[in-house]
Amino acid sequence: MLVLRREEVERLLDVDELLERLERAFVELSAGRASVPPRVAAFAPGGLLGAMPGYVDGVLAAKLVALFPDHEPSHQALIAVFDAETGTPLAVMDGTHITAVRTGASSAVATRALAREDARVLAVLGAGVQGHSHLDAVRRVRRFEEVRVASRTFSQAKVLAEETGAVAVESFEQAVLGADVVCCCTHSSEPVLRREWLSRGTHVTSVGAALDGPELDPDTVRAGLLCVESRVAFSPPPAGSFELQGLDPEQAVELGEVLAGTRPGRADDAQITIYKSMGHAVEDAAAAALVLSSAGS
């Protein structure tokens, strides 16, 4: 059985190829050709340990992910890959880097599908691991002329901005006003933006999944086309999202449906689009399979 450390996973995981594999995985998921039970978790005093098994497109894998908000990194994980025909364990690999990269890459897939073609201003809220991941991945799918970073701690925003060639701003509002794409990448348990800050035609991504509250305000969630990885996101946490509780799942489209053309995506340039991500096992499976195939090549 192959064991891959983080350094090896970082070397083997190609983000551009991952974008294409994620698109296929999302389509397979929405077409009903994947097998993914809802995420379960065991709670500890400082966080939780989640289990995310899944089968998609010939890949059988399972991730164990620890989410401890007061620890850095907050997400730490292992991924195991099995032979889908025999059940034989094939590999165990670091899942911390995969979790970071596949989350930003999934947001990039959603951005490519839903953001306006002429989007030129990107705002990233949050200067941690996911802020960095989104700055890398989302800029691969649109030609942004201005990139802003904001954090609750300005010094952290400044460090990330200097590392990535972005501009640090002092408030979330300043980052969002006039932005065409907004990526919310925080651990906040209360909304980090307001609907009135959003311009017509903005695309919003939210990947925050705090244990005790929502990253998006209700008006933003209802502002336009709502897109999710899976309608399981409407279930109670930890499988689902705080933001989506009490809403009708049929009011949302799945990303795989938009990619396959079975449900409509953006209607026009004025429509606001919202991608609420909870993280999904098919994303981990797609990324782990890519790492494993690269290791064998």
The enclosing domain of 200 has a CATH number of 3.40.50.720
Residues 11, 40 within the same domain: yes
Closest CA to 7 of 133, 102, 136, 94: 94
Position 59 in a domain: yes
Q: Are 283 and 223 in contact (CB under 8 A)?
A: no
Task: Give dist(CA 95, CA 203) in Å, integer.
Answer: 28
Domain assignment present for 104: no
The Cα angle at residue 230 between residues 65 and 25, in degrees rounded to 5: 75
**Residue 115 in domain:** yes
Kindly state whether residue 81 falls inside one of the protein's structural domains. yes
Residue-level pLDDT at 208: 86
Residue 260: the pLDDT is 98
Residues 67 and 119 in one domain: no
> Are 68 and 176 part of one and the same domain?
no
Q: For the chain, which residues score pLDDT lower than 50?
A: none
* Three-state DSSP class for residue 228: strand
What burial letters (b/e) apply to 35-48, b meaning 16+ CB within 10 Å? ebeebebeeeeebb
Based on the domain organization, do 240 and 271 belong to the same domain?
A: yes
pLDDT for the residue 44: 96
Same domain, 143 and 65: no
Residue with tokens 């891959």: 4
Residue 132: burial class (beta carbons within 10 Å; 0-12, 13-18, 19+): buried
In this structure, the answer to whether residues 68 and 123 fall within a common structural domain is no
> Residue 32 sits in which domain range?
2-99+281-296
143: in domain: yes
| 68 secondary structure, DSSP code | -
CATH code (residue 40): 3.30.1780.10
Residues 141, 31, 94, 107: what is their CA dihedral angle, to the nearest 10 degrees?
30
Same domain, 52 and 158: no
124 shares its domain with 266? yes
Residues 187 and 76 in one domain: no
Q: Are 124 and 230 members of one domain? A: yes
Q: What is the 3-state secondary structure (H, E, C) of 268-296?
A: CCCCCEEEECCCCHHHHHHHHHHHHHHHH
Report how many domains make up the chain.
Answer: 2
Q: Is residue 218 part of a domain?
A: yes
- Retrieve residue 84's tokens: 């889908």
Q: Could you count the other beta carbons within 10 Å of the beta carbon of residue 69?
A: 16
Asked whether residue 131 falls in the same domain as residue 65, the answer is: no
Residues with Cβ within 8 Å of residue 249, at least 6 apart in sequence: 231, 234
Q: Classify 94 as helix, strand or coil.
A: strand
Domain assignment present for 206: yes
pLDDT the model gives residue 211? 66
Residue 193 lies in a domain: yes
Whether 121 and 146 map to the same domain: the answer is yes
